[in-house]
């Protein structure tokens, strides 16, 4: 029979594989330029990861707000829209890096000059016994 | 000077709460083993039983190339008292997954027994020389779909802190943040399911709730804000 114990209200347990924070790495993505109607533009950055990292949390932030990039929370939540441009992003992690790509699609019926803006992409790197 | 200064320089102290990682799951499943939740829905579901007797919070990365690369947005995992539900959007691919389960203090009054999680294959569970993500503040609030824009203030160091937020999208189910209404591909029960949108500033979390079966019903939102490094 394996041992069991209780977790509620414990401050800390050495019996848990706590999130060992290797380091936080970051880079920026600058969004700017003019998009003709019915065109798409990608803006991307690749953040190197430590060789020991096997799990990360990825955040995006501007001067005012930060969002954790998960399945239903994206950079579109903090994007400074000029018009009705469509914004989405991807987050892909390999053994050595994480790449975040912001895709802006202009299907508004007219050319759009995007609001120039900078996003910092932050990877919080962990080592977990996965 | 407060003893709490220079916290980021401290690798570890039992004075600071840390995430309680109660489950680490990695494995694979073929898309053929998933189930479409409902006709017309987008989500295909793979079920992993757990023994915690109550929901846990889940973070997920998914791969469709055999583990060469992992998509941070390609899957969503929620849990109830019996299972983890890994949801993907395509049943024609083979998946490799990593799911980290975090304990939810005071989810209810049960305080159940859970297995000790020793990482036999990966060395020590804990080493005081390493840095652990320390929690600055965590709490739970109750919201309704008519809550509107809700501001939850916190006292940080003036920077944009990292955070984690999860909520009861349906009674008895703990989900990561989902938002988008009828266009939300991760929403499988739009008649009853709540959604939460959020952004964090240097002094508060802004939460917006939507959906739900009744404006009178409430649901819980848990949040954790971390010390920098």
Q: What is the ipTM of this complex?
A: 0.90
Q: Which chain A positions have a beta carbon within 8 Å of B161's beta carbon?
A: 66
Under DSSP, is residue B121 helix (H, G, I), strand (E, B) or coil? Answer: helix
For residue B124, give the DSSP letter.
-
pLDDT of residue A111: 97
Given an 8 Å threshold on Cβ–Cβ distance, is A8 in contact with B105? yes
Residue A128, pLDDT above cutoff 70: yes
pLDDT of residue B145: 74
Residue A83, pLDDT above cutoff 90: yes
Q: Give the mean pLDDT of chain A.
A: 91
Which residues of chain B, if any, have pLDDT below 70?
1-9, 11-12, 118-126, 213-216, 229
Kindly report which listed range (A55-64, A71-80, B197-206, B218-227) carries the lowest average pLDDT score.
A71-80
pLDDT of residue B227: 87
DSSP-assigned letters across all residues of B26-93: EEEEEGGG-EESSTT---EEEEEE-SSSS--EEEEEEESSTTSSEESSS-EEEE-SSEEEEEES-SSS
Cα distance between residue B15 and residue B18, in whole Å: 10
- What is the distance in angstroms between the Cα of B38 and the nearest Cα belonging to chain A? 20
Cα–Cα distances in angstroms (integers) from residue A90 to residues A45, B135, B179, in the given order: 11, 27, 16
Are A71 and A89 contacting, i.e. CB atoms less than 8 angstroms apart? Answer: no
Give φ, ψ of A22 to 5 degrees.
-70, -50
Given an 8 Å threshold on Cβ–Cβ distance, is B14 in contact with A12? yes
pLDDT of residue B85: 97
pLDDT of residue A70: 86
Under DSSP, is residue A24 helix (H, G, I), strand (E, B) or coil? Answer: strand
Kindly report which listed range (A102-111, A114-123, B91-100, B144-153) carries the lowest average pLDDT score.
B144-153
| CB within 8 Å of chain A, chain B residues 48-67 | 59-61
Confidence at A10, pLDDT banded by 50, 70, 90? confident
Q: Which chain B positions have a beta carbon within 8 Å of A55's beta carbon?
A: 59, 61, 98, 100
The total number of residues shown for chain B amounts to 229
Does the pTM surpass 0.95? The reply is no
Cα distance between residue B109 and residue B135, in whole Å: 22
For residue A116, give the DSSP letter.
P
When comparing pLDDT for A127 and B201, which is higher? Answer: B201
Rg (CA), chain B: 19
Q: Which chain B positions have a beta carbon within 8 Å of A24's beta carbon?
A: 229
Q: Which residues of B25-55 are buried (b: 16+ CB within 10 A; e: fewer)?
A: bbeebeeeebeeeeeebbbbbbebebebebb
| CB within 8 Å of chain A, chain B residues 7-26 | 14-22, 24, 26
Cα–Cα distances in angstroms (integers) from residue B133 to residues B59, B130, B183, in the given order: 15, 10, 34
- pLDDT tens digits, one per residue of B127-175: 777 777 889 999 999 998 777 889 999 998 899 999 999 999 999 999 9
Residue A120, pLDDT above cutoff 70: yes
């Amino acid at each position: 029979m394996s041992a069991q114990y209780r977790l509620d209200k414990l401050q800390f347990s050495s019996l848990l594989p706590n999130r060992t924070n290797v380091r936080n790495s970051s880079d920026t993505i600058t969004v700017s330029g003019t998009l003709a109607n019915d065109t798409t533009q990608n803006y991307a950055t690749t953040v190197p990861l430590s060789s020991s990292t096997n799990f990360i949390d990825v955040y995006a932030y501007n001067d005012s707000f930060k969002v954790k990039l998960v399945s239903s929370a994206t950079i579109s939540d903090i994007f400074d829209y000029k018009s009705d441009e469509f914004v989405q992003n991807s987050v892909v992690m390999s053994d050595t890096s994480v790449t975040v790509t912001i895709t802006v699609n202009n299907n508004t019926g007219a050319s759009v000059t995007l609001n120039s803006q900078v996003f910092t992409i932050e990877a919080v790197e962990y080592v977990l016994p996965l | 000077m407060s003893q709490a200064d220079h916290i980021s320089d401290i690798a570890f102290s039992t004075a600071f709460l840390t995430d309680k990682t109660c489950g680490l799951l990695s494995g694979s499943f073929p898309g053929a083993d998933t189930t479409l939740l409902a006709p017309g829905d987008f989500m295909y579901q793979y079920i992993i039983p757990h023994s915690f007797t109550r929901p846990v919070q889940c973070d997920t990365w998914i791969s469709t190339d055999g583990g060469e690369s992992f998509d941070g947005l390609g899957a969503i995992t929620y849990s109830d008292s019996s299972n983890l539900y890994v949801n993907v959007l395509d049943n024609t691919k083979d998946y490799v997954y990593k799911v980290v389960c975090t304990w939810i203090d005071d989810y209810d009054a049960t305080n159940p027994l859970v297995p000790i999680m020793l990482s036999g294959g990966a060395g020590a569970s804990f080493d005081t020389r390493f840095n652990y993500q320390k929690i600055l503040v965590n709490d739970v609030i109750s919201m309704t779909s008519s809550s509107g824009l809700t501001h939850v203030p916190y006292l940080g160091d003036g920077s944009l802190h990292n955070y984690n937020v999860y909520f009861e999208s349906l009674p008895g189910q703990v989900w990561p943040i989902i938002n988008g209404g009828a266009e939300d591909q991760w929403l499988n029960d739009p008649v009853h399911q709540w959604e939460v949108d959020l952004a964090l500033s240097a002094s508060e979390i802004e939460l917006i709730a939507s959906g739900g079966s009744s404006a009178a019903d409430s649901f819980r939102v848990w949040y954790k804000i971390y010390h920098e490094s």
